[in-house]
Structure 1
Amino acid sequence: MGLLLIMCEKFFPRRLAPSDRKRRWFGNLGVVVVSAILVRLIFPFLPVALAVMVTLKGWGLIPLLGLPLWTQVIIGFVLLDLAIYLQHRAFHLWRPLWLLHRMHHADTFYDFTTGVRFHPLEFCLSLVFKLALVVLFGIQPLAVLLFEVVLNCVAMFNHSNIKLPKDLDEVLRLFVVTPDMHRVHHSTDSQEMNSNFGFNLPWWDRIFSTYKDQPDLGHQKMNIGLNIFRDTKFLSLWSMLIMPFIKPNAGKSEK
């Protein structure tokens, strides 16, 4: 998936890539390695394994409905996606969560590596949240597995620096979050940053009135990132990992 997006970004770029791309990629992908060591290699199949146990024991709310398996899978997938949308909004609203999440927003360019640039502690909290949802709702293992695969692929896609034809983008964003749709969320403008929270399904932003079609300045002129983390020193892996715990340029607004 990553290789395909690299090729698409090279031949169909939405914005001109900065000269420090290799340095950015080293930091962004380095965070993935740290997260993999702390979370993905330690608990690679924990949500699915827990879903298997929950299903065998008949726990959760969904099994009580007595629905066919595929209906339960669809409901479970949609519930997980709604939960991630609400979790994303919570990471913006509550200051302690925002301090973790802002590492994702501090990227001053926007390409597929931005889609995997999340603080390891945010990964851990998200994992705990998903485990709780699996137990509460009794989500089918297949739904959990499908959701994890789709979430990882779509997150890289909708963070990619790809220019899609306008007509194609308008059709796709009826079913999935597109790069142009989610890029608005990475604007330095606070109102735009607090819109388009969806990762997979695009419907939640419309339902909960957080949808914005296009950035006010257009995709070429909009500023991306956070004002307090524009210095190139914040591109290093170490600076990214300690980002939740520092307060640089106190005179500047984060958003």
Structure 2
Amino acid sequence: MRIDSPGLTTDLDLLRLSGSTVTDHGDHLVIRTEANPTFWWGNFVLVPTAPRADEVDRWVARFEEEFPEAGHRAVGFALPGGGTQAWAELGWEVEGDVDLATTGLPVGTKVPDGIQVRALESDDDWEQSAQVGARDTAQDERKDRLVFERRRAAAQRGLVESGRAHWVGAFDGGRLVARLGIVRLGELARYQDVVTLASHRRRGLAGALVRAAGEWAFEDPAVKQLVIVAEDGGPAIGLYQRAGFAEVARHVGVSRPIA
């Protein structure tokens, strides 16, 4: 099954590298991450078309057939538009994403005084990264979220140690306040998990990290293009466009928890 979105194709490549399986059923893919069953977008169904209002029941049933024990439902669509309203009316969260890419080194920003930009290396660095990932979780859900974030951090660290990836952070007095990763995938390199704590936003940290990660990616002459994915309508798109990225595709996902 063909998927043209560089954001989705690199998502699938990253999932495979982390141990997930991707099974092609002809008109859809089933993605499964047995090591992290609470990872919604590691356990989902991906459809190559836009969502259609008359296919809601079909794709819900297909998900439930593949993941009968899951505490969530998640279906991705490789094209935007279509019948997303039908899903929203049934209580599903609809998330639109924009793929952006550049063939040049991103324009960076000056690192503020007192901030150290460096690679994540130690056990404490990766634990801080997991804590950053769980930063906005409600207290009664925090324990489960940290389990998820620590599993994800372990998978990311494995990619770094394999030489395929680079995770870089901004540290303020030893405290991780922003971080992101990038993974080399042949001719493409894909950014991952761009996060800046609310206390340190609008200080140029994300721009500096995007630049630093891009420099590392382009050290490999095989890499021809950098890819990053941002929430449709979100503030990050402007930051990436100012850094030199341009929109190349859009796609959408629908999800909900099981009460």
Shorter-chain TM-score bucket reads under 0.3
Larger helix percent: 1
Please identify which structure carries the higher strand content. 2
TM-score by length of 2: 0.23
**TM-score computed with the length of structure 1 as normaliser:** 0.23
